[in-house]
Amino acid sequence: MTHDARITLTGWIGSTPRLFPATDDAVAYMSMRVAHRKSWYHRSKGEWVDGPTTWYTVKAWRALAENVAASLRKGDPVMICGNLTNDTWESPDGERETMVIEADAIGPHLGRGRCVFTPMRASEPSDTTQNMNASNTSEDATTTATGTHQSQPATASVDVTQSLTDRSASTDALTAV
Q: Can you say whether the dihedral through the CA atoms of 162, 137, 156, 8 is positive or negative?
A: negative
pLDDT of res. 127:
52
Contact predicate 104/63, CB 8 Å: no
Query: What residue ranges in the chain does DSSP mark as E strands?
Result: 5-13, 18-20, 29-42, 47-61, 77-91, 94-108
pLDDT of res. 99:
87
Distance CA 50, CA 41 (A): 9
- Residue 4's contacts (CB-CB under 8 Å, 6 or more residues apart) are 83, 84
Model confidence pLDDT, tens digit, residues 72-113: 999 999 999 999 998 898 999 999 998 899 999 999 999 999
Phi/psi class of residue 75: alpha, beta or left (left: φ > 0; alpha: ψ in -120 to 50)? left
Question: Is the pTM of the predicted complex or chain greater than 0.85?
Answer: no
pLDDT of res. 18:
96
The strand pairing partners of 82, in sequence order, are 7, 103
Domains of the chain: 5-176 (2.40.50.140)
Band of pLDDT at residue 125, cut at 50, 70 and 90? low
Distance CA 127, CA 130 (A): 8
Model confidence pLDDT, tens digit, residues 16-65: 999 999 999 999 999 999 999 998 999 999 999 999 999 999 999 999 99
pLDDT of res. 4:
79
Helices 129-136 and 62-71: angle between axes, nearest 10 degrees? 20
